[in-house]
Amino acid sequence: MNYPVWNVDILGGGLIVAIIAIVHMLVSHVAVGGGALLAVAEVWSDGQPDGARIRTWLRRFATWFLVFTTVFGAITGVGIWFAIQLASPEATSLLIHQFVFAWAAEWVMFLGELTVLYLYFYGWDVNSRAMQRFLAVAYFVIAWLSLFIINGILSFMMTPGGWTLENRDIFRAFFNPGFFPLLLLRTVVMFLLAGLFGMLVATRVAADDDLKEKLIRFCAKWVIPAAVAAPLLAFWYWTTLPGSAVALALGGVTGVAGGRLEVVTRYGLLAGLAGALILVGTFAMALRPRAANTAPALALLLVAQLAIMGGEFFREMARKPYVIHGVLYSNQLWKEPGKAPARLDAPYLDAARWAPRLPAQSPARGEWIYRLQCASCHTIDGYRGLMKRTVAWTPAFGVRWLSTMDTLKVMPPFEGTAQDREALAAWVISLHGRTGVKP
């Protein structure tokens, strides 16, 4: 065990990553798609008789867009780094070392995106029309390139493809099997989100104004094709997933609520429902644009957020027990035994760096094994709580269960000796107020 494990009560580190990632996914896709909307609307407004009024609205859109994307987008992006570095330092280290210059290039995009947006926004009254159009288009292109780069790194985690620790082939790592389907999926989703965000801002235009009708219909045209295309692209992505992930998703695992439900059904339902709601809602708004008000527009955006959440959890679940598929487990154990600091069947705590030296019979040994091996995915009695899942454990059952835990396909194999398993089982049982007598 190279790194300490961040033991977060109740929530667990993984859930904190998920919360930040979900918010960031929404905002960053709005940031790219919104750029496209700005660019197209800049050009479109020039050919319209009421172009000046459209641009007045556009300025309002840009104000909200600027605050929303710079405050929430930029900071939650940094936030993902903070969270993954706490929840999976080993994996983060691998990604950083492999992709450092991709990230550095991504940062150049980030710097460009921000600066161009500021020049566009603060230069509103002094820039020529041509300059404003150029800035809006440049913003979109740069923002999309940043999506292009980050997509290579994110898709790598699920489908490392031909990359291995030995060949360190960055080309194959970056253009991995999931790269193109996910790039297209993200591009389509970002148009959808930009349209929804635009509708939200457009609902603030006075209802008796023709402009409102025009703007809402303009935005709806971004949402509807995207909502139709997204499921098709999602299916394409599905076909690139590794076999074990597909099996896991189809096979299902014991659900949080206790019952068994196939992962793919659960998240497929969520995504399908969300997509249908967005389609219906957008149609309704486009048909009666003057009646559209802010609350339903906001609700649609929240529904989209739910769908993104479904997607994120699906990805997390399908990738179990790995952070980097086939390479590194979520609890920072390397798949290749040669890479593991501790061997699978060697005494665990002696080789683990981050445990105090405990006497052989100490009950605390079990707790430390939990802390270093299980706590990156489980909490004691909060998210994916261990208490609820071990009510029926006896010492003998616990030891047996631990020796075959990897056959459930969602967990890495247990690291350690028979004594280590006994110690962990005894500690787990003691949580239930029973004695942890050795079998």
Say whether residue 79 binds other proteins (CB under 8 A). Answer: yes
Could you tell me if 325 and 242 are in contact, meaning their C-beta atoms sit under 8 angstroms apart? yes
The C-alpha atoms of residue 309 and residue 22 are separated, in whole angstroms, by: 6
Q: DSSP characters for 267-300?
A: HHHHHHHHHHHHHHHHHHHHHSGGG--HHHHHHH
Contacts of residue 112, Cβ cutoff 8 Å, sequence gap at least 6: 138, 142
Q: Scanning residues 15 to 54, which ones bind other proteins (CB under 8 A)?
A: 16, 20
Decide whether 9 or 209 has the Cβ nearer to other proteins: 9
Decide whether 197 or 222 has the Cβ nearer to other proteins: 197
Decide whether 353 or 434 has the Cβ nearer to other proteins: 353
Say whether residue 116 binds other proteins (CB under 8 A). Answer: yes
388 binds, among ligand HEC, other proteins, none (CB under 5 to 8 A by kind): none
| Closest C-alpha among 68, 64, 81, 150 to residue 109 | 150
Say whether residue 74 binds other proteins (CB under 8 A). Answer: yes
Binding segment for other proteins among 62-70, 199-207, 230-238, 271-279 (CB under 8 A)? Answer: 62-70
Judged by CB under 8 A, which of 44, 46, 75, 262 binds other proteins?
Answer: 75
Judged by CB under 8 A, which of 44, 53, 56, 114 binds other proteins?
Answer: 114
Say whether residue 69 binds other proteins (CB under 8 A). Answer: no
What are the residues binding ligand HEC (CB under 6 A)?
253-254, 256, 320-321, 329-331, 373-374, 376-378, 384, 386, 389-390, 410-412, 414
Contacts of residue 111, Cβ cutoff 8 Å, sequence gap at least 6: none
Say whether residue 148 binds other proteins (CB under 8 A). Answer: no
Could you tell me if 50 and 218 are in contact, meaning their C-beta atoms sit under 8 angstroms apart? no
Contacts of residue 46, Cβ cutoff 8 Å, sequence gap at least 6: 129, 133
> Which amino acid appears at position 277 of this protein?
L
The C-alpha atoms of residue 77 and residue 103 are separated, in whole angstroms, by: 12
Say whether residue 175 binds other proteins (CB under 8 A). Answer: no
Decide whether 1 or 36 has the Cβ nearer to ligand HEC: 1
* Sign of the alpha-carbon dihedral angle for 171, 173, 176, 180: negative
192 binds, among other proteins, ligand HEC, none (CB under 5 to 8 A by kind): none
H helix or E strand, kind and range, residue 322: strand 322-324
Say whether residue 330 binds other proteins (CB under 8 A). Answer: no
Tokens of 155: 């898709």
Judged by CB under 8 A, which of 43, 50, 59, 115 binds other proteins?
Answer: 115
Decide whether 195 or 321 has the Cβ nearer to ligand HEC: 321
Binding segment for other proteins among 72-80, 245-253, 266-274, 415-423 (CB under 8 A)? Answer: 72-80
Residue 422 to residues 84, 354, 389, 392: CA-CA distances in angstroms? Answer: 31, 20, 17, 16
Residue 184 to residues 96, 138, 160, 279: CA-CA distances in angstroms? Answer: 24, 20, 18, 19
Decide whether 92 or 330 has the Cβ nearer to ligand HEC: 330
Tokens of 287: 């048909």
Question: Whole-angstrom distance between the N-terminal and C-terminal Cα of the chain?
Answer: 28
The C-alpha atoms of residue 327 and residue 315 are separated, in whole angstroms, by: 16
Say whether residue 86 binds other proteins (CB under 8 A). Answer: yes
Say whether residue 327 binds other proteins (CB under 8 A). Answer: no
| Closest C-alpha among 23, 3, 5 to residue 13 | 5
67 binds, among other proteins, ligand HEC, none (CB under 5 to 8 A by kind): other proteins
Decide whether 153 or 219 has the Cβ nearer to other proteins: 153
Judged by CB under 8 A, which of 48, 56, 93, 419 binds other proteins?
Answer: 93
Smallest separation (angstroms) from ligand HEC to the CB of 309? 17
Tokens of 383: 């998210």
Smallest separation (angstroms) from ligand HEC to the CB of 198? 38
Judged by CB under 8 A, which of 40, 96, 246, 277 binds other proteins?
Answer: 96
Smallest separation (angstroms) from ligand HEC to the CB of 332? 9
Residue 358 to residues 90, 354, 363, 380, 395: CA-CA distances in angstroms? Answer: 25, 12, 9, 21, 21
Count of residues touching other proteins (by CB under 8 A): 68
Binding segment for other proteins among 37-45, 53-61, 89-97, 227-235 (CB under 8 A)? Answer: 89-97
Return residues touching other proteins (CB under 8 A): 2-9, 13, 16, 20, 63, 67, 70-72, 74-76, 78-79, 81-83, 85-86, 89, 92-94, 96-98, 100-105, 107-112, 114-116, 118-119, 122-123, 125-127, 131, 135, 138, 165, 168, 170, 339, 341, 353-354, 356, 371, 375
